[in-house]
Amino acid sequence: MSNTKPLGHIEHVVVLMFENRSFDNVLGDLYPYGPDFDGVPPGWSNPDGKGGTVAAFTDPDIKAAQIQPFPDPNEDHDDMEEQINGGKMDGFVTNYAKAIKTRGNDTDKASNIMQYYSSTALGGMPITSALAKSYGVSDCYFGSGPVQTWPNRLFAHCGTPGFYTKSGKNCSYLNNCEYPNYDDLDPFHGQLDYKTVFELLDEANSNSASTAWKVYYDGEVPISAFLKYVHDRWNWLEGGNVYKLKSDFPGYADFAYDVSHDTLPTYSFIEPRYQKYSADGFIPPNSNHPGGSTTDEGLPPIDVIHGEALLRDVFQTLASNKDVFDKTLLMITYDEHGGLFDHVAPSEATSPFADPGGFANFPYTSYGPRVPAIFINPYVAQKVLRPDEGSYFDHTSIIATLRDQFCLQESLTPRVSSAPTFTGLIDSSIEPNYGPDLPSIDDSVPQEYFDGVEPENYLPPKHKGTVTDAVYRSYIANKGRNKK
């Protein structure tokens, strides 16, 4: 543990974690490609499996780009290994063609996996682009492994995906559906009893009356509640540590209330809305996960404009309270790349396990593909943040930074111990930047959310373990308890 605080004067860290988008897909056009920014290289392409290639492209049809790719790419560990293809990063089109074929769709649409967003104000993700250009980003931030949402989010909370023993051998968890009780009616009912960064924060804050951490969720259930430590502190009658992002009742302690009353905890983790069914009716998901918005991943496609609206609201809540914004770092990231192309091969990584050689399957000795990382605070300059040569950011850098910033007493796992922190991000000597004028967006609910019409030849996805389905089951199990 360092004796120097990596974030200087920062008192609060807020992480908003979206789902399943790669760095190249979201931020690859932010600056020109070159030594100072590793965006999409000119002419980058993938083979199409038919003797030709598909070049990476920014879609001129913005509305089409905002719901691409559809249907959902495959995101199991084996599929990700095909996409990475030994570091060539050229298996995205052919793997997506397989995903489309299993759903009965037109495999010619496999080229859509190579689309990425223009960074202009008229691009498909204008809020993201405006904030990324105004503050800091990292082009060296990777998913913690080539695996699905659950294990990657566990890295952010626990520094490990966990493991189980089979036939006397250790096996790491790789896919959502492998976790115990995943198929239960409520898979987020505190089934995983791993030590978390939330517990470390409570230990460091034991002599204070203030709250050390909160999970805010913009939907029916937070995925974080798959951790026992979080679920046990989800007191839906009296508060606790888990809250809806936007309360149904005026004056209730939601995110905006905590910002305006200067009662933000040391660490806040914000979860988006993952599926369209809710106690309030059909509401568009704002997770930015590619694919469909229903439990069988059918129509309508998830539209990134609703994730843009979530990001806008979170940012403007902070920016309108300058005293709180001054001492708060807002970090935007994604749990995994979700099968969308990125051109940078994941590097070798420190295993989270003390004895990686004792594992019968993947011991997490490499990262997953890159994901977006945006850092926002008035004292974050417009810059590209990179760790020291030979080091790489991943989700465990969040834990490592919290550890050094707030004097936490553990690193949890070897991966966290080796993770670089976000040192050098905050510069208190610069003129504070309270943000750009954000472009207006239309995030109204489209009629398709009420029609429920599927294409005649549409088939549900064949891959297991979709987060949308798991969240829906948990919502049904908890229906009524979390209307707060």
**In the prediction, which pLDDT does 108 show?**
75
Global pTM exceeds 0.85? yes
The beta strands (E) that lie in 175-273 are given as 213-217, 234-235, 239-240, 242-244, 267-271
Confidence band for 416, pLDDT divided at 50, 70 and 90: very high
**In the prediction, which pLDDT does 453 show?**
52
Residue 256: phi and psi, rounded to 5, are: -60, -40
**In the prediction, which pLDDT does 446 show?**
72
Q: Strand, coil or helix: what is 43?
A: coil
Tell me the two tokens of residue 67.
């719901």
pLDDT digits (tens, 9 = 90+) for 314-358: 999 999 999 999 999 999 999 999 999 999 999 999 999 999 999
- Per DSSP, the residues of 61-86 read -HHHHTT-S-SPPP-SHHHHHHHHGG
Q: How far apart are CA 128 and CA 89, in angstroms?
A: 25
Please tell me which residue, 136 or 445, carries the higher pLDDT value: 136
Label the pairing between strands 12-18 and 328-334: parallel
Q: How far apart are CA 343 and CA 351, in angstroms?
A: 23
**In the prediction, which pLDDT does 455 show?**
47
Q: How far apart are CA 435 and CA 313, in angstroms?
A: 13
**In the prediction, which pLDDT does 182 show?**
86
**Which whole number is the average pLDDT over 231-242?**
83
Least confident of 72-76, 78-82, 138-142, 463-467: 463-467
Tell me the two tokens of residue 340.
């969308």
pLDDT digits (tens, 9 = 90+) for 304-326: 999 999 999 999 999 999 999 99
450 pLDDT higher than 70: no
Q: How far apart are CA 209 and CA 433, in angstroms?
A: 32
- Please say whether the beta carbons of 286 and 238 come within 8 A: no
| Percentage of the chain modeled with pLDDT above 90 | 72
The amino acid that residue 221 corresponds to is V
458 pLDDT higher than 60: no
Confidence band for 123, pLDDT divided at 50, 70 and 90: confident
Q: In this structure, is the dihedral angle defined by the CA atoms of residues 280, 283, 288 and 292, taken in order, positive or negative?
A: positive
**In the prediction, which pLDDT does 484 show?**
45
The size of the chain, in residues, is 484
CA angle 397, 91, 464 (to 5 degrees): 70
Confidence band for 51, pLDDT divided at 50, 70 and 90: very high
465 pLDDT higher than 90: no
236 pLDDT higher than 90: no
CA dihedral 443, 449, 455, 461 (to 10 degrees): 90
Q: Mean pLDDT across the chain, nearest whole number?
A: 90
Confidence band for 460, pLDDT divided at 50, 70 and 90: very low
pLDDT digits (tens, 9 = 90+) for 151-175: 999 999 999 999 999 888 899 999 9
- Per DSSP, the residues of 410-469 read ---SHHHHHPPP-TT-B-TTSPP-----PPP---PPPTHHHH-PPPTT-----SS--HHH
Q: How far apart are CA 17 and CA 87, in angstroms?
A: 26
- State which H helix or E strand residue 375 sits in: strand 373-376
CATH architecture of 12-46+125-478: 3-Layer(aba) Sandwich (3.40)
279 pLDDT higher than 80: no
194 pLDDT higher than 80: yes
**In the prediction, which pLDDT does 46 show?**
98
Q: Strand, coil or helix: what is 1?
A: coil
**Which whole number is the average pLDDT over 110-119?**
95
CA angle 366, 369, 370 (to 5 degrees): 115
Q: How far apart are CA 114 and CA 69, in angstroms?
A: 9
Which residues are CB-contacts of 330 (< 8 A; sequence separation ≥ 6)?
14, 16, 314, 315, 318, 375, 376, 377
**In the prediction, which pLDDT does 445 show?**
80
- Please say whether the beta carbons of 56 and 116 come within 8 A: yes
Other CB atoms within a 10 A radius of the CB of residue 204 amount to 18
409 pLDDT higher than 90: yes
Least confident of 61-65, 105-109, 299-303, 442-446: 105-109
What residue spans of 213-295 are helical by DSSP H?
Answer: 228-231, 255-260
**In the prediction, which pLDDT does 463 show?**
53
Q: How far apart are CA 143 and CA 20, in angstroms?
A: 10
